Amino acid sequence: MKFWGDDVLKQSAIGLGLIYLTLGALGLAIGLGYPMGSVARMGPGFLPIVVSSLLLAFAAISIFKGLAAGRPQLPSVQLLAKGAAPVMTVVISVVTFAAVCRVLGLFPSTLLLILMSATASPEFALKPKPIAGAVIVAGTFSYIFVKLLGLPLPYINMPG
């Protein structure tokens, strides 16, 4: 354990600082709307305000530290941009699953999730064999979840 951490962390100090800044500012802005109370009888806003303020202090220190390091802070952006496409593919496939699982039923949604997310990997290709595998996995597990474990979702919703 070092206080500042390794080189990656030193380079990403601004990036992390901005994350702290966002969360701390959001926490403080909303927290100020709650009754503060006194130290003896704390209102619901007391600790959120304290914790958000502390986080803002951490944000300031982290950003200052990053700026003081003098190095170009591109790495933060680069670090995040590297591999952004597959990451977004995973996020989109999960969000799609959430959006359609009630409408389409578990089996088609799971199949969609598996096939969509698999395209995030450079090694996956939409060929008959992997598709068949995805159908089998989605079909079998959806059946287990819905029919045997009683998950309250339709197995498959026929259109119309």
Partner 1 sequence: MYYVDNVVLGLSTALSLGNLLYCFLGVFLGTAIGVLPGLGPVATIAMLLPITYGLDPTTALIMLAGIYYGAQYGGSTTAILINLPGESSAVVATLDGHQMARNGRAGVALATAAIGSFVAGTIATGVIVLFAPILAGFAIQFGAAEYFALMVLGLIASVVLATGSLFHALAMILIGILLGFVGIDVNSGLARYSFGSMQLSDGIDFVVIAMGVFGLGEIMANIHEQSKQITTQKVTSLWPTREDYRRMWKPILRGTGIGSVLGVLPGGGALLSAFAAYSIEKRVSPNRAEFGHGAIEGIAAPESANNAGAQTSFIPMLTLGIPSNAVMAMMVGALIIQGIQPGPSVITENPTLFWGLIASMWIGNLMLVVLNLPLVGMWAKLATIPYYFLFPAILMFCCVGVFSLENNNFGIFLMAGFGLFGYALKRLGAEPAPLLLAFILGPMLEEYFRRALLISRGDLSVFVTSPISATLLAVAAILIVIVLLPGVTQKREVVFKED
Q: Footprint of partner 1 on residues 15-74 (CB under 8 A)? A: 15-16, 19-20, 23-24, 27, 30-31, 34-35, 38-44, 46-48, 51-52, 54-55, 58, 61-62
How many alpha carbons fall within 13 Å on the CB side of residue 140? 6
Instruction: Indicate whether 132 belongs to the interface with partner 1 (CB under 8 A).
Output: no
CA–CA gap between residue 123 and residue 106 (Å, rounded): 26
CB neighbourhood size of 55 (10 A): 20
Tell me whether residue 2 or residue 70 sits nearer to partner 1 (CB atom): 2
Quick check: helix, strand or coil at residue 99?
A: helix
Q: Footprint of partner 1 on residues 68-127 (CB under 8 A)? A: 76, 79-80, 82-83, 86-87, 90-91, 93-95, 97-99, 101-102, 106, 110, 113-115, 117-118, 120-124
User: How many chain residues bind partner 1 (CB under 8 A)?
Assistant: 76
Burial tier of 142 (Cβ tally within 10 Å: 0-12, 13-18, 19+) = buried
Compute the least distance from the CB of residue 159 to partner 1, in Å: 20
Compute the least distance from the CB of residue 69 to partner 1, in Å: 14
Contact with partner 1 (CB under 8 A) among 69, 71, 131, 145? 145
Q: Are 45 and 32 in contact (CB under 8 A)?
A: yes
Compute the least distance from the CB of residue 98 to partner 1, in Å: 4
Please state, in angstroms and as integers, the Cα–Cα distance from residue 127 to each residue in 130, 131, 146, following that order.
6, 6, 28
